[in-house]
Amino acid sequence: MRLAIFIVLALAGCAVGPDYRKPDAPVAAQFKELQGWREAQPKDQLPRGSWWTVFGDAELDRLMQKVEISNQNIRIAEARLRQARAVADQARAGLFPTLTANASVTRSKAPSLSNQPNFATGAVNNYNLGLNAGWELDLWGRVRRSVESGEANWQASAAQLEAARLSARATLAQQYFALRVADTTKRLLEDTVKAYARSLELTQNRYQAGVAARVDVVQAEVQLKSAQAQLIDVGVERAQLEHAIALVLGDAPANFALAPSDLAIHMPQVPVALPSELLERRPDIAAADRAMAAANAQIGVAKAAYFPTLTLSGASGFRTTHIADLLTAPSRFWSLGAAAAEAIFDGGLRRATTDQAVAAYDVQVGTYRQAVLTGFQEVEDNLAALRILGEEAALQDEVVQAARHALELTNNQYSAGVVSYLNVITAQATALSNERTAVNVLGRRLTASVGLIHALGGGWTATALPAR
């Protein structure tokens, strides 16, 4: 008897199937575009959970507070997390025996049989009150592997929730900066329209004085109306961006509005983690890793089907035909039993199930490695964009200053009658074009900064994953 108990306990400690080991992923020693950037230090990282504060925009901070509450994608991910937690709890319940209580009352009557004269012909009452217990021993780890899979899926859902939060916030920040670029462009065009109106007035006065040709007036009118048309066109982009922000915030576009404001934000310096650290910082990579662990555990679940099952059962209660005798000793019954079962032939079902589990694991391995590569690409892309756009911005600022000076000189020359109005139009168009380019470059740099923070995981790490 002791030997049998020892064997059962020994078998209960094993679990068939492979234990999870994270596969290798293609990781470089450092990012190619890291020149000019500093690596993150333990006390020199993005603000955890509030990375957008590095931009120092109070309106953006206010909008970010609404994302967590109202964004529908985040609410969907949160519901999926609760669902995954319930599935994990469901799997864990298989480790324990089940206990059910039952009570029944039946009244029955059997027909009289001519060949059985002593058969009871009256109605009979049956009263039953009992408890039933059953427990399938987890000898081969099927339930434990199911629990392992459920826990990993639960953690994957937690990482996906964080990825949804990060994505929603990054989208909001990029759309907000694009809207502020549109506001700044609109203000620039408004100033340009005023300047062109003054130029038209000057040209009309010169024409009336007989020192300018009629063609100069027509050209000034064309220049003014062209700028007015551009000013109107900016309104389309701004309206659409405002609607997009409302969608991220989970609000109806008709109920949402942002007051115009210029883009007055300084570029933050974002610390960059090492490539190996990126595997722990990105929630989508952590989710892929946990999904891979869950698929690995399912291989053990499939392989456990090759081995026999052992179920223990028991029942106890009272059964009688008279209600007054229901809870008496003579009416008591009990039973204990054990049952073993092993599939002899299943037409290849277990083999197919195991092959399916192995293939599903291989799919998750590929998905994990692809997520790693995508993460590296996104970091490299945004590092390159910030480096190149930084150089472009410095040069573009010089071009803007030169274009403004050239316009000022050309206006003076025109007033003195040295050059034609065509020179003024050319200088005005050049100045406006470079002003708009400078604003767009700043917007692209801010968008790339948000993209880099997103690619780096927004200050999140895998240590934030929940554990039971």
Domains and CATH numbers, the chain: 14-96+140-307+349-464 (1.20.1600.10), 98-110+120-137+308-341 (2.20.200.10)
List phi, psi (to 5°) of 313: -140, 155
CB 301: neighbour CB atoms within 10 A? 24
> Both tokens of residue 26?
């293609």
CA-wise closest residue to 99 among 131, 65, 60 = 131
CA-wise closest residue to 455 among 379, 404, 388 = 379
CA of 381: how far to CAs of 192, 271, 399, in Å?
Answer: 35, 16, 26
Q: H/E element holding 101?
A: strand 98-108
The whole-angstrom separation of Cα 188 and Cα 191 is 5
Q: What is the distance, to the nearest Å, from the Cα of residue 261 to the centroid of all Cα atoms in its chain? A: 30
Ordered per-residue pLDDT tens for the chain, 468 residues = 444 444 444 445 578 988 999 888 888 777 877 765 555 554 445 566 789 998 989 999 999 999 988 899 999 999 999 999 999 999 999 999 999 999 999 988 876 555 555 555 578 889 999 999 999 999 999 999 999 999 999 999 999 999 999 999 999 999 999 999 999 999 999 999 999 999 999 899 989 988 888 999 999 999 999 999 999 999 999 999 999 999 999 999 999 999 999 887 778 887 777 787 888 889 999 999 999 999 999 999 999 999 999 999 999 999 988 888 888 888 899 999 999 999 999 999 999 999 999 999 999 999 999 999 999 999 999 999 999 999 999 999 999 999 999 999 999 998 888 888 889 999 999 999 999 999 999 999 999 999 999 998 988 888 889 887
Q: H/E element holding 144?
A: helix 142-208
Put residue 27 in one of left, alpha, beta given phi > 0 → left and psi -120 to 50 → alpha. Answer: beta
Is residue 439 classed as helix, strand or coil in its secondary structure?
A: helix
- Helices 283-304 and 349-415: crossing angle, nearest 10°? 170
Report, in angstroms and rounded to the nearest whole number, the Rg of the chain calculated over CA atoms. Answer: 38
> Both tokens of residue 51?
């990375």
* Cα-based angle 423, 427, 430 (whole degrees, multiple of 5): 140
CA-wise closest residue to 457 among 188, 228, 275 = 275
Q: What is the distance, to the nearest Å, from the Cα of residue 221 to the centroid of all Cα atoms in its chain? A: 52
pTM value is: 0.86
